[in-house]
Structure 1
Amino acid sequence: MYVNTEKKQKLKSLLWWGAGVAFTFLIALFGYLLSSLPGLDNVGQLACAIIIAVIYRHFFGYPYILKNGIIFSSQKLLRLAIILYGLKLNIDIIFQDGMGLLLRDVIIIAAVIFLTVWAAKMFKADSTISLLLGVGTGVCGAAAIAAIAPIVKSKDEDTAISVGIIALVGTVFAVGYTLLEPVLPLSPESYGIWAGSTLHELAHVAIAAEPAGEDALAISLLAKLGRVFLLVPLAFIFIFFMNRKEEGNREKRSKVKFPWFLVGFLIMSVVGSYVIGKAVEVPDNIMEGVSSLTTWFLTAAMVGLGLNVNLYELRRKAFKPLLIMIGVSLILSVLTYFSI
């Protein structure tokens, strides 16, 4: 009888776990539907889903009965999404054609993170959110934030706030670029380098560069892929400094766990660059399906993080980092424009 009761309890826990995972995908679906509406189509599924999750938490509270499934989405699915995201990075193209752009990307990433952290100290803004926004602005938006967040031991709430801000601000900048493109005295190639070197997400780069033509789109994605490539060495730099910081703090000595999911990210990058399409032919519809699945996994993970966001805390903690990020993004855009 005890065995049957234990089995029933395990089954019940499994069902609630599954319901929690399904709940994050349900909100992700609502985010997708919301992002398909006119005016919100450029905002994107990710940002819309996080907004819905935050609103749900505000009005209905955190669904603790679904907690295990929600945590699975926000942690395990997040890492899986980052691993699959590696397929978007074509290392071969970077090594062949993008080494010059890569040097520019190194300077941009270092300058953006330094400037953001410095401004956060000057204006007494939340340090974690500001750091994550600096990483997202300098590297590749939500994916970079999601990769660095566990290394710097960010709270789920701070990670979700950072991702929501970067998605929304990045969209505004991408739309602004498309409006400026016809009046700027830049060649399609120069405009593409500008967009790829300064915009936040791959999707933002594509939105901004596509109206300028195929050449602009190709060079912009190349510039952006260089920034994505630098995510891995940046992560190891953060690991080094975090471990040094923990060693200096005798009360909180805990080494940063090695981010094995970044190894998966690299492996997928190698597979996408040198195996798929060269050694093995994979139909385009399958690759598109994997890309779509990656987006859904990432969106469900961000829903899990978004459910931890308290709107009152959001107002208190996010306003200054938001202003700093906008300011740094504007400085990045202007200086990069005049350096091209």
Structure 2
Amino acid sequence: MIRNLFYIGIILSASGLISPPIALAGGLIFGLTTIHHFHVESRNLSKFLLQAAVVCLGFGMNLQEVVHAGKSGFIYTAISITFALSLGVALGKLLKVQQTQSLLIAFGTAICGGSAIAAIGPVLEANEEEMAVSLGTVFVLNSVALLTFPAIGWALHLSQTQFGLWAALAIHDTSSVVGAGAKYGPTALAVGTTVKLARALWIVPLAIATASIRKSKTRIHWPWFILYFCGAAVLATYVPHFLPQSVPFFGALNRLGRAALTVVLFLIGTGITRTTLREVGVRPLIQGITLWIVVASLSLYAIARGWIAL
């Protein structure tokens, strides 16, 4: 019965009959009200689908917009990552959070949530419990952001460009940035996705720097899907000039990416269980919440004041 409900949730999410926030809410209800054993399958499937969805979304992007957003967001990204990492480490020490957990939460908030934690975790030689606590903290906050950010943006009358930039700077995971952007509007989706992916590129130098400092020889997981996303944007920008009939095909791939993203959000929701919430604990959760609120509030204020703009 439970397995059937799990599959039904995936099918409904992929069908386009429900929106990304509804898919996430359904996943959360499933994870918090049932006892299931699909955690590993959900995590593996959501990781693959997220990367595939991001690449497919590239077929709906224009290369000039991608390059412009990436260039314009570079300096903001560098400043916000430095600030978030510094504040995260300081909060971890203040709250006496175990060092590896504290660093993972700081990296996850500063760069791109679960992807950053997955890349940095082996470098820090984090064990399964430390990874679970950090991922649990980030996923809980991702869920909150996806459900609340669009409402905040509308209440403050943010433009789609402003909202996309805020989502990219303040929401942890790429999936939730894309989900929130898709709900807010097409321009918010384009800006949020491109700036967030540019932000995700920081995984590479920071992972290398961390490995050098700790003298770790662990193999670093490169975010190749970002390169594929750029390749998809190149094809979508230039191929239609020579093959106009390719436009419907690229459009279908883009819609497929949106459907896959909705499934990812359902799977993320199913991973938030009562056990996960217990494992997170109070102090790491306080660290993650405090860091996230400060980063989100300051970036929102700066964007609303016009200090940060594309």
Q: TM-score, normalised by structure 1?
A: 0.65
Distance 2:219 2:253 in 1: 33
Verify the 8 A CA contact 2:181 2:189 in the aligned structure 1: yes
Residue from 49, 54, 70 that aligns with 2:27: 49
Larger Rg: 1
1:175 aligns with 2:151: yes
**Residue 288 of structure 1, CA deviation:** 0.3
Q: 1:27/1:276 Cα in 2 relative to 1: closer, same or farther (>3 Å)?
A: same
The aligned residue for residue 230 of structure 1 is 199
Distance 2:260 2:160 in 1: 32
The aligned residue for residue 214 of structure 1 is none
**What does 1:123-202 correspond to in 2, within 5 Å?**
123-125=95-97, 131=103, 134-135=106-107, 137-139=109-111, 144-153=112-121, 155-181=131-157, 188=159, 191=162, 195=166, 198-200=169-171, 201-202=177-178
Q: TM-score, normalised by structure 2?
A: 0.70
Distance 1:84 1:189 in 2: 21
Verify the 8 A CA contact 1:92 1:273 in the aligned structure 2: no
Q: 1:310/1:191 Cα in 2 relative to 1: closer, same or farther (>3 Å)?
A: closer
Verify the 8 A CA contact 1:86 1:266 in the aligned structure 2: yes
**Residue 133 of structure 1, CA deviation:** 5.3
The aligned residue for residue 293 of structure 1 is 260
Q: Which amino acid letter does the alignment assign opposite residue 254 of structure 2? A: M
The aligned residue for residue 50 of structure 2 is 81
The aligned residue for residue 229 of structure 2 is 269
**Residue 303 of structure 1, CA deviation:** 5.4
The aligned residue for residue 219 of structure 2 is 257
**Residue 49 of structure 1, CA deviation:** 1.3
Q: Which amino acid letter does the alignment assign opposite residue 23 of structure 2? A: Q
Q: Which amino acid letter does the alignment assign opposite residue 178 of structure 1? A: W
The aligned residue for residue 272 of structure 2 is 306
Identity %: 11
Q: 1:240/1:43 Cα in 2 relative to 1: closer, same or farther (>3 Å)?
A: same
**Residue 178 of structure 1, CA deviation:** 0.9
The aligned residue for residue 124 of structure 2 is none
Q: Which amino acid letter does the alignment assign opposite residue 302 of structure 2? A: L
Q: 1:32/1:309 Cα in 2 relative to 1: closer, same or farther (>3 Å)?
A: farther
1:48-95 deviations in whole A, cap 9, x for unaligned? 414531442xxx3x53xx6xxx42431354134224323435554232
**Residue 278 of structure 1, CA deviation:** 3.0
RMSD of aligned residue pairs (Cα, Å):
4.0
The aligned residue for residue 180 of structure 2 is 204
Q: Which amino acid letter does the alignment assign opposite residue 44 of structure 2? A: Q
Residue from 293, 297, 300 that aligns with 1:326: 293
Q: Could you list the runs of 5+ residues in structure 1 that have no partner in the other structure? A: 1-18, 183-187, 211-216, 248-252
Larger mean CA deviation between 42-51 and 154-163 belongs to 42-51
User: What is the aligned residue count?
Assistant: 282
Q: 1:310/1:274 Cα in 2 relative to 1: closer, same or farther (>3 Å)?
A: closer
**Residue 231 of structure 1, CA deviation:** 0.5
Classify the secondary structure of the residue corresponding to 2:119.
Answer: coil
Q: 1:163/1:290 Cα in 2 relative to 1: closer, same or farther (>3 Å)?
A: same
Q: 1:224/1:271 Cα in 2 relative to 1: closer, same or farther (>3 Å)?
A: closer
